Amino acid sequence: MKNKTVAAWLAFLGGPVGLHRFYLRGLGDPLGWLLVLPTSLGVYGIERVQEFGQDDKLSWLLIPLLGLTIAGCALTAIVYGLASPEKWNARHNPGAAPDAPAGRTNWLTVFALATSLLIGTAVLMASLAFTFQRYFEYQIEEAHKISR
């Protein structure tokens, strides 16, 4: 039986490394393994910023990958948490009754939803703000070079 609350928490906490996909579909899930790529690239972007500073242009592209992956996994946790018990059990527990306990929503599920919404939104906005700030600063620097 695949529990909806466990899947929501795994999507929120371990989603960037595919834990929710492995829980629901097994270790053979290719999308679960592919989630590791943007997560690793984003972490590498953070390491580049620490090493080379904020002027490193490659980090502008890499850091948002991590943010978008985290935000996407938070959205996945929200989708899991909002699924009706009938829909959840039909999809992930096909042999179970439509109202089986594994698909029910409880307070831990609601807490996973609220936390995913709060953190996912904050991470998404921070990633976008970082990217756009660096992009516009770069445009201003290039305009100064042209005007000289």
pLDDT value, residue 131: 84
pTM of the model: 0.87
pLDDT digits (tens, 9 = 90+) for 5-53: 999 999 999 999 999 999 999 999 999 999 999 999 999 999 999 999 8
3-class SS letters over the chain: CCCHHHHHHHHHHHHHHCHHHHHHHCCCCHHHHHCHHHHHHHHHHHHHHHHHCCCCHHHHHHHHHHHHHHHHHHHHHHHHHHCCHHHHHHHHCCCCCCCCHHHCCCHHHHHHHHHHHHHHHHHHHHHHHHHHHHHHHHHHHHHHHHHC
pLDDT value, residue 21: 96
pLDDT digits (tens, 9 = 90+) for 52-70: 987 788 888 898 999 999 9
